[in-house]
Amino acid sequence: MRVARPLSLFAALSIALAGAVGTATAAPAAPAPVPEAAAAGSGYAAPTMLHCKLNVRSATKSSATVLRTLRNRNGNCPGKGGHDSVPCWLNKCGGITAGGSYTCQSGGKSYKSWLPVKHQGKRAWVAIKCGTYVTP
């Protein structure tokens, strides 16, 4: 009896483990939902006709590293046709954030509104008062 009981426990445990392994491998787990902030949203940011360029920066301050410069080469802006843009980080170009102050032109009005955009898969920022954003 002493030998039979441990063997029956071992057999029951082995069957339970085999069943658990079969269940775990039978159906793949559904992928975790992507957080809203991790995917580019609808819409984009671009320079305006008034301000021919718009810098994409690593943070919400004018001293942050410039990652890319968007250019508007239409209308009064120099260069042959073409208009650069960058996708917004959040859906419908949301998430405008107060940050460091900036001016769009020397001696102009000061602003603090920054828009999150997607640059090479990472969040970056544009001084939105110097540009525009468009949603579908």
* pLDDT 10s digits, 60-111: 999 999 999 999 887 778 877 778 999 999 988 999 999 999 999 888 899 9
DSSP symbols for 73-108: -STTSSSSS-B--EEBSSGGG---EEEEEEESSTT-
- Residue 65, CA distances (Å) to 14, 40, 54, 101 in order: 59, 21, 13, 15
Q: Which residues contact 99 (CB under 8 A, 6 or more apart)?
A: 59, 60, 61, 112, 113, 114, 125
pLDDT of residue 74: 79
Please check the confidence at residue 23 and state whether its pLDDT lies above 50.
Answer: no
Sheet arrangement for strand 44-47: 86-87, 44-47, 131-134
Of 100, 87, 84, nearest to 48 (Cα)?
84
pTM above 0.85, yes or no: no
Please write the tens of the pLDDT for every residue from 2-17. 544 443 434 443 444 3
- For residues 53 and 47, the answer to whether their CB atoms sit within 8 Å is yes
Structure confidence at residue 134 as a pLDDT band (50, 70, 90):
confident
Please check the confidence at residue 18 and state whether its pLDDT lies above 80.
Answer: no
Of residues 38 and 116, more confidence is placed in 116
DSSP symbols for 17-68: HHHHHHHHHHSPPPPPPPPGGGS--S-EEEE-SSSSEEEEESSSSTTSPEEE
pLDDT of residue 41: 55
